[in-house]
Amino acid sequence: MQLASQLSLEFRRAGDASVVYARGDIDLSTLAKAAAALDAAREGAATLLLDLRRVDFMDTSGLRLVIAEQQRAAANSYRFAVVLGSRKVQRLFEIAGFAADDELFVESPTAFAGGGD
Amino acid sequence: MSTGAEGDRIGLLASIDEVATGTVLLGETVARLLEFVVPVFADVATLDTISPTGAFHRIGSRVEGPGREDLEKGLLRRRPVPEAPVGLPAALASGESQLIERVTDEHLRAISADDADFELLRALELRSVLDVPLVARGRIVGALACGVGTSGRSYGAEDLLFAEVLSGRIALALDNAGLSAAISGLEQRFETTLTNLAEAVIVRDASAQIVFANAAAARLLGLASVDELTAAAPGEVMALFDVFDEGGRRLALADLPSAIVARGEPAEPLLVRNVIRATGEQRWLLHKATPVFEADGRLSLVVSVIEDLTEVKRAELAQRLLAEAGNALSSSLDYRQTLQQVAELTVPGLADWCAVLMRGDDGELEQVAVAGAGGRVLAVSVNPAGEEKLIDGVMTVPLAIAGHTPIGVLSLAMTASGREFDEADLALARELGHRAATAIENARLYAERSLIAATLQRSLLPPELPRVPGFRLAGFYHAAGEQNEVGGDFYDAFEVPGGWMVVVGDVAGRGAEAAALTSLSRYTLRTAGRLVGDPIAALEQLNDALREGPALSLVSVCCALLRTAAGGASADVVLAGHPPLVHLRGGRPEPVGVFAPFLGAYERAAWTAVTVAIDPGDQLVLYTDGVIDTVGVEERFGEERLMDALRDAASAADAVARIERAVSGFADGPQVDDTAVIVVERLAGG
């Protein structure tokens, strides 16, 4: 029997920077949970980071979430970035036409916080 | 009192106050109180208390002078003659102090029970007597009787005033000594604290006789006054009601907590349905009982507190009934069967009998469900117009959605239980009728929508892949989830200026919106492709169309433009947010395409065409991510497995079959995403 996709999310804030740590799978079944975590983290944040290093799998639902957040950040003047993880997740972004050096990506949450200003 | 010095009297009050604030025992208190009264204020004194039931207790007597002990014993045994117009009986009856300044034999006769009693009273040589009720916390709890004679003193009006002050202090002293609690205090406390309490309180003595009840109790039990309760013999009150437990079992007085604790057994609070026989009014009552014991361990009283949970219970019943009815109504599209369940849910909580009648095609009402009364058909008043009615144990409400013609009626009746409906029951029935009607309408709409969905989905797929000269096409499409959840993936193949365009696409999301996007995508690509014949221009058209929408709409597409010329065949491959096309060249799979953004993500993006030559026997495999995202035991299917499965595929049909086989063999559990595959094979000599 197939196990349902699991996704756990953790959200930390330092000053006006929020980081959402995702762990597990981001797909149609866990999308709402991930979206809710971003909503909570975004509140009052000048910079928002989605850490996907512990994400094993992500499908186009997850990509859609990231692209929506990217556009929201551009429209509302906050900074949004993603820390990539597994090869599979990198491949997904690659397929979606993101260059490896796209400004959406940062190496780690600390690098992001340092470059926040 | 002529001989009483003022100082003595003040000292007397002080002494009594001392007793009042002390911690002496009851018997001692009475003895000491009388010691202060006699001889300072009287030659003879007695102290009486009256229990809540009116029982008279002489708790002390004191006589000054010769023959004192016999006289005291005689007085202690005396009981006042109830109907006497003077003295102590009159004081108790009227609550007013009595003064007889000059005692005559006539007076003594009037208050004597018999000759012996008369002689006893005469032996006291009384000149004047005072009889003063003892009032504590607003109630007569006893009386103080004082007499003078042997000392030569007599009483006047001012003595009466003093006696009243004295009796107040004595009452207080007795109260403090716990006497009132032991004898009459229960009623005092109830009267002062419970009379106006919202909870119903009933106190029974050891013989189960009701000795106290508050107004709330009378109200709750539908009686006009508290007196009706206290005047009734044990068991008479119970006969006014039909009492049932939550399971509908009829209960007797012996089953109630008050009777259980009276037997010396512990009793949990008991929730009962109390139906007043005379009116049919029903209430949910929570009975709690606590026994009160005498010092020697005998049962003294049973205090019952009855809480009215009718509203709570009704709300709970309504909530449960509506929730269960909702479940039944949504669980099946066979509304006859679910209406039967709804009817059964109402019995016995809401009614004894319930029937549902539906209007048939001929407009006649037909009974489709019945519950209660052994399923018999009852001749209830059914208003053909489906109007709401509430008469004598029968309710009829329409099955109707607001503003619509009723599609039937819900009839409820009371039979054996003798209960009556009230407005709250009617409101619940109305809501039930409304929900049933809504569910039936939804079931009808659902059937229609399923049909629409199936039709729409069919329209999204090409009924048949076209014949493309020089090529052979094969494909499969598998929609995940319910039939009405159209959406997700699409594929298409159509002729354009200069060739044929083959497309697979994936729309993010599911349901109606996804279906609409799928439709938009497929027809935009088809139209733009036919007009311009250029895959990139077609994708840009779709990108613009998606950007016009209010919400972020993302579509991934893999598009191949097949072209044949004298020199051979080729394909221009364009990807937008889509995994690569697989080119089977001589049986070896190779990914083709330049990765680029989703359609709908950005205003402008660079989509790039890659041109590959297609030799005879070569195949192009276009697929959606449902294939590579298929969930296995350990991981997802992935691009590698797809490549491996396709290696050396003999034909388009073989390639499709290999993918299906590999995916279904790999999948662990039901498919979660749509899957679309289209394979283009260049025929030999094509």
- Supply the DSSP string of A1-61, one letter for each residue: -PPPP-EEEEEEEETTEEEEEEEEEESTTTHHHHHHHHHHHHTT-SEEEEEEEEEEEE-HH
Residues in chain B with CB shorter than 8 Å from the CB of A65 are: none
Q: Do A28 and B673 touch (CB under 8 A)?
A: yes
Give the per-residue pLDDT at B185: 46
Residue of B nearest to A1 (CA): B669
Give the number of other Cβ atoms within 10 Å of residue B279's Cβ: 10
B6-184 and B461-682 share one CATH topology? Answer: no
Domain containing A54 equals: 10-114
From chain B, which residues contact A within 8 Å (Cβ)?
A: 506, 508-510, 552, 554, 556, 575-580, 595-598, 601, 605, 625, 629, 631, 633, 635-636, 638-639, 668-670, 672-673
Q: Which residues of A touch B576 (CB under 8 A)?
A: 97
Mean pLDDT of chain B: 80
Q: How many domains does chain A have?
A: 1
User: CA-to-CA distance for B38 and B46, rounded, in angstroms?
Assistant: 10
pLDDT for position B370: 87
In a domain, A5, yes or no: no
- What span, in angstroms and rounded, lies between the C-alpha atoms of B487 and B578? 17
Given a cut of 50, whether residue B269 has pLDDT beyond it is yes
Tell me how far apart the alpha carbons of residues B429 and B411 are, in angstroms, rounded to a whole number: 9
Question: Which residue carries 């002062």 as its tokens?
Answer: B192
Backbone φ and ψ of B625, nearest 5°: -70, -10
pLDDT in tens, B116-137: 888 888 888 889 999 988 887 6
Structural tokens at position B126 = 């009384």
Residues of B in contact with A67 (CB under 8 A): 552, 554, 598, 601
pLDDT of B468-487, one tens digit each? 999 999 988 877 655 444 55
Q: Would you say residue A115 has pLDDT above 60?
A: no
Q: What is the pLDDT of residue B13?
A: 65
Q: Please give the residue that has the higher pLDDT: either B393 or B628.
A: B628
pLDDT at residue B573 in the model = 97
The shortest C-alpha distance from B448 to chain A (Å) reads 27
Residue B229: is its pLDDT beyond 70? yes
Mean pLDDT, rounded, for A97-113: 83
Of residues B596, B625, B633, nearest to A97 (C-beta) = B596
Give the C-alpha separation, B646 to B589, whole Å: 7
- Is the pTM higher than 0.80? The answer reads no
- pLDDT tens for B238-254 read 888 889 888 788 898 88
Distance CA B593, CA B575 (A): 6
> Does A26 fall in a domain?
yes
Report angle CA B404, B408, B411 to the nearest 5 degrees: 125
Residue B147, strand partner residues: B44, B129
Please count the CA atoms within 13 angstroms of the CA of B135 that sit on its side-chain side. Answer: 14
The domain over range B6-184 is classified in CATH as 3.30.450.40 = yes
| CATH number of the domain encompassing residue A52 | 3.30.750.24
Q: Is residue A2 part of a domain?
A: no
What share of chain B in percent tops pLDDT 70? 81
Q: Does domain B461-682 have CATH number 3.30.1330.60?
A: no
Look at residue B423 in the predicted model and tell me its pLDDT: 81
User: What is the arithmetic mean of pLDDT over B644-666?
Assistant: 91
- Nearest-angstrom CA–CA distance, B59 and B171: 13
Residues 6 or more apart whose CB falls under 8 angstroms from that of B135 comprise B95, B141, B167, B168, B171
CB-defined contacts A:B, below 8 A: 64
* Residue A98's pLDDT band (cuts 50, 70, 90): very high
Q: Is the pLDDT of residue B326 over 90?
A: no
The pLDDT score that the predictor gives to residue B52 is 61
Asked whether the beta carbons of residue A67 and residue B631 sit closer than 8 angstroms, the reply is: no
Nearest Cβ partner of A97 from B595, B633, B668?
A: B595
How confident is residue B596, by pLDDT bands cut at 50, 70 and 90?
very high
Answer with the residue of higher pLDDT: B6 or A21: A21
- pLDDT confidence band for B331 (50 / 70 / 90): low
* Minimum mean pLDDT range among A68-72, B327-331, B356-360: B327-331
pLDDT on residue B24: 44
In this predicted structure, what is the pLDDT of residue B454? 61
Name the residue ranges covered by the structural domains of chain B: 6-184, 195-308, 313-449, 461-682
Q: Which fold has domain B195-308?
A: Beta-Lactamase (3.30.450)
User: In this complex, which of A59, A68, A95 lies closest to B578 when CB atoms are compared?
Assistant: A95
Confidence of residue B377 (pLDDT cuts 50, 70, 90): low
Residues B505-527 have pLDDT tens digits of 998 766 667 777 888 888 899 88
- What is the per-residue pLDDT for B444? 67
CATH number for domain B313-449, candidates 3.50.50.60, 3.40.50.300, 3.30.110.30, 3.30.450.40: 3.30.450.40
**Is A85 part of any domain?**
yes
Tell me what pLDDT residue B183 has.
Answer: 44
φ, ψ of residue B595 in degrees (nearest 5): -65, 140
Token pair 């029970």: residue: B113
Report d(CA B623, CA B677) in Å as an integer: 4
